[in-house]
Amino acid sequence: MACQLKTGLFGGDCRTDKLYIIERLLDRLNALGVEIYIQSEFYAFLARDLKRLPQASEMSADDMLRLNVALSVGGDGTFLRTAALINKLHIPILGINTGRLGFLADISEDQIADTLTELAEGNYRTEERMLLELQTKGSVLQGYNHALNEVAVLKRDTSSMITIHTYLNDEYLTSYQADGLLIATPTGSTAYSMSVNGPILLPQSDNIVLSPVAPHSLNVRPLVIPGSHRIRLVVESCTQSFLTALDGRSEVMQIGTELIVNKGSYTLNVIKRHTHTFYRTLREKLMWGADARVKQS
């Protein structure tokens, strides 16, 4: 006899007009006989705002260790926060989209019922995604030091541009004079990095992208490097400080801090439907091949 599926639900405060999606999701999981645990902050939100809370338990630390899958309910930001909570537990994550674009949270409202049935039947695939690990010398990094999308080094507020001296495997590459520098994984190549004209990489690629943010020199272009490379950064700024952000979790660093970025020692598992491929995502999310002159059905 198959073991009962244990699912963890992760999310955040959402718009009240989206709560019906969560109700349907919980009802469907209950109908499938799935054991449901809800991350404590999300549980408190749902207990307060849902008219009725379907059968589910608030998640303890021990419950989290027993999960078979994690469901991230929200947008890509919620997915990134879920990944940070999962950390090294190797629990595969499925992203349920109640936000907007959704590259990581790619299950739309109309796909939830079928997707959860496939999940309960074990009819899905997982993709391993590279993480980046950040180490610092000179300033203490607080909290989780891994990133699924990118490590960003940025100027503070409206201050003048910063200079980022960059070394690859201890060989000097260049000094970026820019508003910042993004170090992105293949997963992150369709996030912040893409918005500054970085290249799109296939999720399974073993590569890292260096993408400058508003560089002073127009001939400084994004660079793709092997995932095995060690990246060392030394920052200069007239404000004596700069921002370092891991998937949007930012901290102020003092000038003189050395940043070391490597490929993480472990990976994150992302759940995908068999019908969902990266090429299909590019066509649907980025409208590749769509003709603006033709009304889309």
Active site positions, annotated: 76
Are 265 and 133 contacting, i.e. CB atoms less than 8 angstroms apart? yes
Tokens found for residue 245: 């952000």
Tokens found for residue 280: 């299909």
Side chain identity at residue 250, one-letter code = S
Tokens found for residue 112: 């939830």
Can you say whether the dihedral through the CA atoms of 271, 128, 266, 224 is positive or negative?
negative
Can you say whether the dihedral through the CA atoms of 289, 294, 295, 297 is positive or negative?
negative
- The rounded distance, in Å, linking the Cα atoms of 246 and 110 is 32
Are 76 and 105 contacting, i.e. CB atoms less than 8 angstroms apart? yes
Name all contacts of 192-201 with Cβ < 8 Å and 24+ positions apart.
192/149, 192/150, 192/152, 193/150, 193/222, 196/222, 197/222, 198/222, 199/224, 200/282
| Ramachandran category for residue 274: left, alpha or beta (phi over 0 → left; psi -120 to 50 → alpha) | alpha
Torsion angle (degrees, nearest 10) of CA 47, 81, 86, 102: 100
The closest alpha carbon to 237, from 156, 144, 173, belongs to: 156
